[in-house]
Chains A and B, each alone.
Chain A
Amino acid sequence: MTQRYIKIGATVLVLGLAFAGLFWSTLRDGTEYYKNLDEVMTNQSEWHGKQLQLHGYVVPESIYRSRNNSLEYRFKVQNNPARATEPGSVISVSYTGIVPDTFKGEAEVVLKGELTTEGFKVSPNGVMAKCPSKYEAAAKSGA
């Protein structure tokens, strides 16, 4: 009986360790930091060169395309929603590519990319605007 338990225990241990090892290794290159703009801006140097997911709101009327109708976007992102009294930290963002349909001024966005000295550089396909979800926050319903 004891031998059986030892066998089972050993199998579980080996499998468990193997899984944990695999998990750890895949998790390490799979993760990105998810940060609000304010958290990053208070200590910028610490975040330079790290893969980030940055959460914020597009500053109204800040979207600018360098040539007429090109795919190069420059816009500003602030920490707080546009309707808030204080905008919070603001950063300028550059991106080349196709933006989602829901991307616009005031939109809540999550940007994947890197923090550089010139601002936030979004990696390809790294703009995620809020999905056209039906479950919108109550604040908009009175509009």
Chain B
Amino acid sequence: MASLGSFLLLATFVVCSYSAAVSVAGARRRSRPLIESGVGAFYLTAALMTVASAVMINAFLTNDYSIKYVAHYSDSVQPLFYKITSYWGGLDGSIMFWVFLLSIFGTLAVYVNRERHRELIPYVVATIAVVQMFFLYLMVVHKNPFTTFLTTVPADGNGLNPLLQNYWMAIHPPSLYTGFVGMTIPFAFCIAALVTGHLDDSWLRAVRRWTMFAWLFLTFGLTLGMIWAYEVLGWGGYWGWDPVENAGLLPWFTATAFLHSVMVQERRSMLRVWNVILVITTFFLTIFGTFMTRSGVVQSVHAFGDDPMLARLFTIFMVAILTFSFGLVIYRLPLLKARNELDSWVSREAAFLVNNWVLLFAALFVLFGTMFPTLSEAIMGQRLTVAAPFFNKWLIPIGLILLFLTGVGPLLAWRKSTVRNLLEQFLWPGVATATTLAATTALGIPVWAPGLCFALCALVTATIVQEFLRGGNVRRRNTGTDLFTAIIGLVGRNKRRYGGYIVHLGIVLIFLGFAGSGSKKEQLFRLKLHDQATIGAFTLRNDGVKVSDDGQKQMATAYISVSQNGKPIESMYPGRSVFRKHEDEEARTDVAIRRSLAQDLYLVLAPDVDFGTQTITLQAFVNPLVDWIWLGFGVLAFGTGIALLPERAYSFALAKLPAEAATTAVVLLAGLLLSGVSLKAQQHQVDPNVAVTPSKNALEEQLRGEMGCVCGTCAHEALTKCTCGTAQQMRSQLRAQIDQGKGHDEIIQAFIGIYGGQQFLQAPIDKGFNRVAWLFPYVLGATGVFAIGFAAIKWSHHSAAAPPETSATLDDPALEERLNDELRDLD
């Protein structure tokens, strides 16, 4: 299998280079067959990478420890879910996953735009293919994930680090990669536009959705990383300005800037050079971020290991990107001239411009701070570092300026705002801001920075509400519907604008969370048995420590009863667990968090537990408003979704519908939003009281082994091991069945009756349809093979059938589609 994988990577590299070369040649010679051949080869890379991925996942599933990568990141007891996610768990695999995603996204983008932007396609293909080639080259010559052991094959793998065996951590990297990789598509279109000189705004239309999509995933990835840090690492915070975190933030700043400035170009044909530069910079920063975190250039507590070879290859690639892209920009400067000038500084485009400067400054600043140790060593010979306070000092004002612009921008008119419309627009938002500022000051919240932050949040919210109400009222008068339908219709008519406002609302919520961290409390208590301590409104009492063992790990759990303002509210169980195979490491912190919208109570059990006297040290944090950050992301995602949805989705509100139907729709939508926002993961509540009771007979023991806990968060542990409440309940159900004297199959059937499916089984019944589950990797592989065949057939068919001079002809449906598209965008 390993050699098949290596071969596939090599083959992809060859096909990629072919695709790049043929596309460029085809575009230069205006030869349709050559271009088509390049596109076909490009699709083929996606198929090949799919097969290679299937091979890799298969190696993980079948515990093929002859492959070093598998042996390093998996072991036989690892749950199925983490076996699959281990694919992108390490350096080599993550590069491969990168290429896989890029080939899929590239294929999609090329397929969707093949008619609309025909003149750009060959260069888009070539650009993406070259980027793929770089990463494939890295793998083939330096970091091949399919490398095998030359000596003895280990009997079992090392296993994924326990701290990473976390639900959030499993979905965080793919989300971040999707964001990173997605940014290559706008870059490819940008380069294609520069090379061909088709620098009207059509390339922007092709990429703005992609950018939004990539931006959404980038944001999602960053949020997931924050949630993971908050829930697992146990230091009470979520963002530490570590180089690895910063690497994800850099392209986020520039991508956000681009999403704003693109509107100025569409509306006023300004900032054309600027947009091109932003797209290039965003792409460059994704590569740079990868370089920074993988090559050991920046010293970080995240151990990435020095890899000078990787650093060299990346440096060459980055220099090439910069020289080539900016060379092209300079070459095309005459074509990129702005067609308009800034009329006034009191205009929306000016606000966008300032927003862009601030965002770019933020990116440069974070870049500077992150690279500071390296820079200072190069310049002064001393390695100096800057820490979180330095970043905070600068990014708090930057964030507040951005928030201010978010509020002010939509109130300004394009071109020039008159004093009169300024007054009209700013009256209510101004009042809201002033009132909030006064109220927060009266409550004793310091003006800098939380007070100001709250006031600006009020400003933005007031602006958005005002925009919705005004637009809605106008539309209500015009269409004669009720206000709700009118607002939905409004959103449907101008999805990007109103979707954008909802995104801004999400940002406001996130900023509320940031402002809350200003009044964070942290304290360390040494508590004897039944001692009490107070932090904020909470009183904590030590009810003792217990030790339990679930086979995979040994846990020390403290029982803390919490009362708020004198009333008992909850018991919390902060703990520490020592994992098998990781006994030499400090125990894993199991943070206990009591969430509420007002404040989180966050408890960490220190390692100095004295079991004899049941004395513990407890680190307690009160984090106000922190949950608003996660809620804010939900709103932000909803807004982006609105902006991304096709028009058809709103047709119900765009037509004049009876009011009842519209109201129902609103209720449904609101319900959907709420369910999305308030969806709380089912808690895998480890109840330390639960011990696994011994089985009554062999049948029970066997069935316990076959069944897994269905609580949904514990990686589906077997009932022989799992100690959560759900597992306990399942065990008693099983005991009841055993007591009725039922046989093995009868009991399974009874459980299927209870749970409505086989999800409680560790492995699906190996019969009929269930075999499909195990066939998955093979099916995936076969799909790839079919896709290759299909591509090959289609490709040969096209190049044989299409006469060379057809490149200029446009058949009617395609032209119509393109026209339609352009007309729609004029709205």
Contacts and interface: CB of A to CB of B under 8 A. Distances in A.
Given A31-B385, A70-B608, A134-B73, A104 B586 contact: yes
Interface string A67-105: 011110000000000000000000000000111111111
Contacts of A134: 73, 89-91, 94, 160-161, 164
A7 interface: no
A129 B607 CA distance: 16
Contacts of B72: 141
Contacts of A139: 305
A59 interface: no
Nearest to B299: A34
A129 B394 contact: no
- Please give me the 4 A-B residue pairs with the lowest Cβ-Cβ distance, nearest first: A137-B305, A30-B390, A130-B303, A131-B302
A41 interface: no
21 contacts: A26-B393, A27-B386, A30-B393, A31-B386, A31-B390, A34-B383, A34-B384, A98-B524, A98-B619, A101-B585, A101-B586, A101-B587, A130-B301, A131-B300, A132-B162, A133-B244, A134-B73, A135-B90, A135-B91, A135-B305, A136-B90
Secondary structure at the B interface, as helix, strand, loop or mixed, is mixed
A143 interface: yes
A70 B234 CA distance: 19
B491 to A, nearest CB: 39
Given A69-B608, A101-B234, A101-B589, A135 B294 contact: yes
Interface string B118-129: 000000000000
A69 B383 contact: no
Interface in A98-142: 98-105, 108, 110, 125, 128-139, 141
A98 B607 contact: yes
A131 B609 contact: no
B606 interface: yes
Interface in B243-257: 244
Interface string B364-401: 00000000110010000011111101100110000000
Nearest to A129: B301
A132 B586 contact: no
A105 B584 contact: yes
B570 to A, nearest CB: 23
Contacts of B90: 134-136
Contact of A32 (B163, B384, B607): B384
A141 B607 contact: no
Given A98-B606, A101-B585, A137-B305, A26 B384 contact: no
Given A69-B608, A132-B161, A26 B390 contact: yes
B348 interface: no
Contacts of A102: 163, 585-586
Interface string B54-91: 00000000000000100111000000000000000111
Contacts of A33: 382-385
Interface residues of B, number: 57
A98 B605 CA distance: 9
Contacts of B508: none
Interface in B284-315: 293-294, 299-306
A120 to B, nearest CB: 17
B504 interface: no
Contact of B304 (A71, A98, A133): A133
Interface of A: 26-27, 30-35, 53, 55, 65, 68-71, 97-105, 108, 110, 125, 128-139, 141, 143
Contacts of A100: 233, 586
A78 to B, nearest CB: 17
B163 A101 contact: yes
Contacts of A125: 235
B303 A133 contact: yes
Contacts of B393: 26, 30
Contacts of B299: 34, 55, 110
A115 to B, nearest CB: 16
B588 interface: yes
Given A55-B299, A132-B164, A137-B305, A31 B609 contact: no
Interface in B305-353: 305-306
Contacts of B6: none
B158 interface: yes
B617 interface: yes
Contact of B387 (A32, A99, A136): A32
A15 B617 CA distance: 50
Contact of A71 (B164, B372, B384, B617): B617
B610 interface: yes
A65 B610 CA distance: 13
Interface string B606-618: 1111100000010
Contacts of A133: 244, 302-304
B608 A31 contact: no
Contact of B607 (A30, A34, A99, A143): A99
B301 A71 contact: no
Nearest to A70: B608
B749 to A, nearest CB: 42
A112 to B, nearest CB: 8
Contacts of B293: 135
A105 B585 CA distance: 8
A104 B610 contact: no
A69 B607 contact: yes
A131 B303 contact: yes
B604 interface: yes
B585 A98 contact: no
Nearest to A65: B608
Interface centre among A125, A128, A131, A133 (most CB of B within 10 A): A133
Contacts of A68: 610
B301 A110 contact: yes
A135 B385 contact: no
A7 B606 CA distance: 60
Given A98-B607, A108-B303, A128-B301, A31 B384 contact: yes
Contacts of A129: 301
B394 A26 contact: yes
A30 B387 contact: yes
Contacts of B306: 137
A71 B608 contact: yes
B619 A141 contact: no
